[in-house]
A and B are shown apart, each in its own frame.
Chain A
Amino acid sequence: MNTLLVLPIIIPMLTGITALLAYKSRNAQRWLSVLGSAALLVSAVWLLIEVEHSGIRATQIGAWPAPFGITLVADLLSAIMVTLTGIIGFAVAIYSLATADPAHERFGFHQLYQFLLMGVCGAFLTGDLFNLYVWFEVMLMASFVLLALGGERGQMEGAIKYVTLNLMASAVFLAALGLLYGTVGTLNMADVANKTAAGLTAEQSGWMTTLSILFLIAFGIKAAVFPLFFWLPASYHTPPVAVSAVFAGLLTKVGVYALIRVFTLIFVQDTGFTHNLILVVAGFTMVTGVLGAVAQGEFRRVLSFHIISQIGYMVMGLGLFTPLALAGSVFYITHHIIVKTNLFLVSGVVKRLHGTLELKKLGGLYQLMPMLGILFLIPALSLAGIPPLSGFFAKLSLVQAGLENGAYFIVVVSLAVSLLTIFSMMKLWNEAFWKKSPTAEEVALPSLSKQQWAALLAPIAVLAAITVVIGLGASSTFALALRASEQLMDPSAYIQAVLEITP
């Protein structure tokens, strides 16, 4: 058994449990949370190095051979996603040192946060579809409580929509699992892929196309693609900033990961239908997301709608379904998780300074804190895709893949959406940072200790630096993404690693 694969799940679980035991001491919980996330980051990076060095790793839990037991698998995509989880987990753990409300901490903020990370890592690492469902539920349960923590009216309303639509997605996922088991008789992803590759009867292949749509709906709700995204803008701006930063960075991306996983491994018989449908969905997601963002007048709501529009880009790479396009998707996910979390963290500092995130009431932040302005501009421009930041290269590879495939329409759409993204980021810049403060009295810097300022700004600065580094060293990141996508396009290595057979 390969312990390395279990560590990203065990570490947050143990941290969460230890923090539960230390529920009386606020300080102990906080530092446990930081330590645990740091350990998670270390183990994730270690896993990435190992997978990059020696190929796909798999381990059978309880030594039950696949497909009977639960398998954990780490290919490059999983390892990259776990590493990103580690980075975001650590950054937000530090950030919440300065922002977490003592009342929320008493109700288990840190513990829930660790269980959320556990659910996310589990979903990335599992090789079994039913187990994926269980990890989704672990993650959702923690996110439900984190979203509702504090119990303000807006949070309650947002949480009801979030809970309902996500439970609906789970019910669809569960039904799809049952039907898939009835069709192929297994739920181990590699085994399903192996059986479908070996040939299906006409009845079975008809079922597979139907099932692919059920999976598309279930994961589409979780990934917030058009027309299933309505829970996201209704809820993401309601919880405390640290919570919405983690949600924005990680949760929808679990849905995207699941889509990529099943639509490269299992549902590849009828790509003319399924993947073209995904491409259409991607186009609509990009456009509706960005148009929604343009209409909004609140900082975090603008950012929430941009998540939707960015999901469109990630799904576009899956829809094009070439190695270059998938590499673009992986690159885009990497870039997006870092940048989007960072923008939400900046919005938290803005809220600290002004007490509100209404764009009408904001202003003069650049004058007040020039450094924050720069730290906002870096991820904002990266999101819009200005070279040499990471977003440019992510979009470049998707556009290139689209042109190679002759999918000109989606390329035009994606470029137009980029322009609107710049427009919307400039609106945030003008309204929040550049224009004069509308309130008569000058906004003063809040009285925070030096450590608190460091805890607020250090994660933002580090994430901004990562965007710049990914952009400047784009060739090496892209090479990694390309290798991940080659593994996805040719699943034989994955099947071999899990089932220990040659397909």
Chain B
Amino acid sequence: MEIVLAFVIGGLYAAGIYMMLRRSLVKLLIGLGLLSHAANLLIFTAARLTRAESPVIPMDQQSLANAAADPLPQALILTAIVISFGVTAFALALSYSAYKSVRTDDLDKMKTTDNVNEMQEANP
């Protein structure tokens, strides 16, 4: 199972980087989304996949009797998913308003802020 997931994660990273290197703003956002999915799956896999019970201690006992799955990675992933959800929503809104002010989604045309002396003309 780890092997399969390793390939899935690798594929997600590759696809994410590839999308980020395209010129389109929307593809950049898709790439970012794929990267964060890959990172989440990586946490899931790196923390060992165990087929075991959930770590709940029965009422009448003081400690876990059998081997149990580690719940922490899932808590971490859940937090990370929530954060990336919010961030992606913001990035979408940002790209929309960037499109409205630049009138293109070609990233190669969004470089006025990198030109040495033309900043003020672009940003009055």
* Residues in B neighbouring A175, C-beta threshold 8 A: 38-39, 42-43
- Within the complex, the shortest CB–CB distance from A305 to chain B, in Å, comes to 11
CA distance A172 to B86 in the complex (A): 18
> Secondary structure of the A side of the interface?
helix
CA distance A238 to B114 in the complex (A): 11
Known: A168-B32, A178-B39, A178-B43. A157 touches B110 (CB 8 A): yes
CA distance A319 to B87 in the complex (A): 33
Judged by a CB distance under 8 angstroms, whether A144 is at the interface is yes
Contact assessment for A134 and B43 in the assembled complex, using a CB-CB cutoff below 8 Å: no
- Within the complex, the shortest CB–CB distance from B123 to chain A, in Å, comes to 3
**Binary contact readout B59-90 vs A (1 if CB under 8 angstroms, 0 otherwise):** 00000000000001100100110010011001
Contact assessment for A163 and B116 in the assembled complex, using a CB-CB cutoff below 8 Å: no
> Secondary structure of the B side of the interface?
helix
Judged by a CB distance under 8 angstroms, whether B24 is at the interface is no
CA distance A174 to B44 in the complex (A): 11
**Binary contact readout A128-156 vs B (1 if CB under 8 angstroms, 0 otherwise):** 00100110010011001100100111111
For residue B123, which residue of chain A has the nearest CB? A154
Which among A182, A238, A295 has the greatest number of chain B C-beta atoms within 10 A? A182
Contact assessment for B117 and A153 in the assembled complex, using a CB-CB cutoff below 8 Å: no
Contact assessment for A174 and B47 in the assembled complex, using a CB-CB cutoff below 8 Å: no
CA distance A385 to B19 in the complex (A): 45
* Residues in B neighbouring A160, C-beta threshold 8 A: 25, 28, 94-95, 98, 107, 110
CA distance A161 to B94 in the complex (A): 11
Contact assessment for B35 and A141 in the assembled complex, using a CB-CB cutoff below 8 Å: no
Leading 9 A-B pairs by shortest Cβ distance? A178-B43, A182-B46, A154-B123, A156-B98, A174-B39, A171-B35, A157-B110, A175-B39, A178-B46
Q: List A residues at the B interface (Cβ < 8 Å).
A: 130, 133-134, 137, 140-141, 144-145, 148, 151-161, 163-164, 167-168, 170-172, 174-175, 177-179, 181-183, 233-235, 237-238, 295-298, 301, 356-358, 360-361
Starting from the known contacts A178-B46, A358-B119, 13 additional A-B residue pairs (CB-CB under 8 Å) come to A133-B80, A137-B83, A137-B87, A153-B101, A157-B112, A158-B113, A160-B28, A171-B39, A174-B39, A174-B40, A178-B43, A182-B48, A358-B120
